[in-house]
């Protein structure tokens, strides 16, 4: 059974860490959902495609990346990444050579990819607006209120690329925290995020501390299955293991929660996620955006 690596709260949790991570977790899970939709409800294929796409954004002239390097970046087994990368090649979305794989130009410019990039941008902007509303960031949205169809603006591409890097880092962190069991980490994240989703756009969202249990709402396994686009039995199996480990508690027939006591034990993950988010905001500021 997979166990969470961090067991004790670090000596100091940065100020604003808990509220920033509460808000950004919504962004993270929505991004995972967008990736899953992009590849016809195939999560791992979506992650592999995103990693290859992000590699192209970092190096448009070269843009090829080896399968072993992809596996390292995603913290996934080599054979799993190889199999899904081969599927992307067969589907005509990627091309493969001895140097690695890359997204084919037609796929980069396809309507589905451009729409996905726009949704990634809008998702990230929504997070930035929520953080600013809670006085945790200083994002100023562009004066144009309508996101036009077609090519994204420079500012939109900056946000889309930075948020993709954030998502990749989050996926890798989940794998590290859960000893390589990404699905269990996603189920855990989806449960605790659903427990506090109702406070995101309220004054409580900016609460500096871990929210007490009386402010957490139980969520059903079916709801988590639907939100992650994973089979019900898969989610149920992971939820049972989380309960056995004491990480989740069942609240009668209402569903499950991750109690506040467990969040305090897992504060190392909060510190890491906070660090990734502050790095993203710094990246946006270096690019000339107010964040």
- Asked if the model's pLDDT at residue 143 lies above 80, the reply is no
Q: What is the pLDDT of residue 95?
A: 93
Q: What is the mean pLDDT of the chain?
A: 88
Can you read off the two tokens belonging to residue 68? 């072993």
Q: What is the mean pLDDT of residues 20-34?
A: 92
Fill in the DSSP letter of residue 65. Answer: B
Q: 7 to each of 148, 193, 233, 284, how far by Cα in Å? A: 47, 20, 28, 33
Confidence of residue 35 (pLDDT cuts 50, 70, 90): confident
What is the number of other CB atoms lying within 10 angstroms of the CB of residue 78? 12
Question: Which of 2, 22, 6, 20 has the alpha carbon at shortest distance from 264?
Answer: 6
Q: What is the mean pLDDT of residues 131-158?
A: 79
Residue range 91-121, pLDDT digits in tens? 999 999 888 999 998 888 888 888 888 999 9
Task: Classify residue 286 by burial, with Cβ atoms within 10 Å: 0-12, 13-18, 19+.
Answer: exposed
Q: Which long-range contacts (CB under 8 A, 24 or more apart) does 237-244 make?
A: 238/183, 238/184, 238/187, 238/188, 239/187, 239/191, 241/1, 241/2, 241/184, 242/184, 242/187, 242/188, 242/191, 244/1
The separation between the first and the last C-alpha atoms of the chain, rounded to the nearest angstrom, is 41
Q: What is the mean pLDDT of residues 148-155?
A: 76
Which of 1-5, 6-10, 60-64, 232-236 reaches the highest mean pLDDT?
232-236
Q: What is the mean pLDDT of residues 275-279?
A: 94
Residue range 157-212, pLDDT digits in tens? 899 999 999 998 999 999 888 988 999 999 999 999 999 999 887 887 788 889 99
Q: How far apart are CA 157 and CA 73, in angstroms?
A: 22
Q: What is the pLDDT of residue 148?
A: 56
Q: What is the pLDDT of residue 5?
A: 42
Confidence of residue 140 (pLDDT cuts 50, 70, 90): confident
Rg of the chain over Cα atoms, rounded to whole angstroms, equals 19
Confidence of residue 150 (pLDDT cuts 50, 70, 90): low
- CB contact at 8 A, 116 and 38: yes
Confidence of residue 147 (pLDDT cuts 50, 70, 90): low
Q: What is the pLDDT of residue 7?
A: 47
Residue range 47-62, pLDDT digits in tens? 999 899 888 887 776 6
Can you read off the two tokens belonging to residue 64? 């090829």
The length of the chain is 291
Q: What is the pLDDT of residue 62?
A: 64
- Asked if the model's pLDDT at residue 134 lies above 60, the reply is yes
- Asked if the model's pLDDT at residue 38 lies above 60, the reply is yes
Q: How far apart are CA 172 and CA 198, in angstroms?
A: 27
Give, for 287, the enclosing helix (H) or strand (E). none
In b/e form, how buried is each residue of 22-54, taking b as 16+ CB within 10 angstroms? bbbbbbbbbbbbbbbbbbeebbbbbbbbbbbbb
Q: How far apart are CA 139 and CA 133, in angstroms?
A: 9
Q: What is the pLDDT of residue 11?
A: 53
Q: Which long-range contacts (CB under 8 A, 24 or more apart) does 153-159 make?
A: 155/289, 156/118, 156/121, 157/117, 157/121, 158/284, 158/287, 158/289, 159/121, 159/124, 159/125, 159/128, 159/284, 159/289
């Amino acid at each position: 059974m997979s166990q969470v690596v961090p067991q004790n709260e670090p000596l100091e949790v940065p100020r604003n860490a808990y509220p920033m991570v509460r808000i950004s977790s919504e962004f993270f899970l929505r991004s995972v959902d967008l990736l899953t939709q992009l590849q016809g409800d195939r999560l791992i294929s979506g992650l592999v495609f995103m990693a290859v796409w992000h590699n192209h954004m970092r190096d448009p002239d070269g843009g090829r990346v080896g399968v072993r390097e992809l596996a390292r970046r995603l913290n996934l087994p080599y054979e799993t990444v190889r199999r899904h990368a081969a599927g992307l090649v067969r589907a005509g979305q990627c091309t493969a050579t001895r140097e690695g794989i890359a997204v084919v130009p037609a796929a980069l410019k396809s309507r589905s990819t451009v729409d996905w990039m726009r949704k990634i941008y809008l998702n990230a902007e929504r997070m930035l607006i929520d953080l600013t509303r809670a006085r945790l960031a200083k994002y100023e949205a562009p004066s144009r209120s309508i996101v036009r169809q077609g090519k994204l603006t420079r500012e939109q591409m900056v946000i889309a690329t930075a948020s993709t890097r954030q998502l990749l880092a989050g996926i890798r962190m989940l794998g590290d925290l859960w000893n390589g069991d990404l699905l269990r980490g996603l189920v855990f994240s989806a449960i605790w995020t659903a427990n506090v989703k109702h406070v995101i756009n309220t004054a409580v969202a900016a609460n500096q501390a871990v929210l007490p249990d009386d402010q957490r709402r139980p969520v059903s396994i079916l709801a988590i299955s639907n939100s992650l686009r994973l089979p019900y039995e898969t989610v149920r199996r992971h939820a049972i293991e989380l309960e056995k480990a004491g990480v989740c508690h069942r609240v009668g027939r209402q569903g499950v929660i991750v109690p506040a006591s467990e969040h305090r034990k897992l504060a190392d993950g909060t510190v890491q996620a906070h660090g990734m988010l502050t790095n993203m905001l710094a990246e946006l500021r270096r690019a000339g955006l107010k964040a």
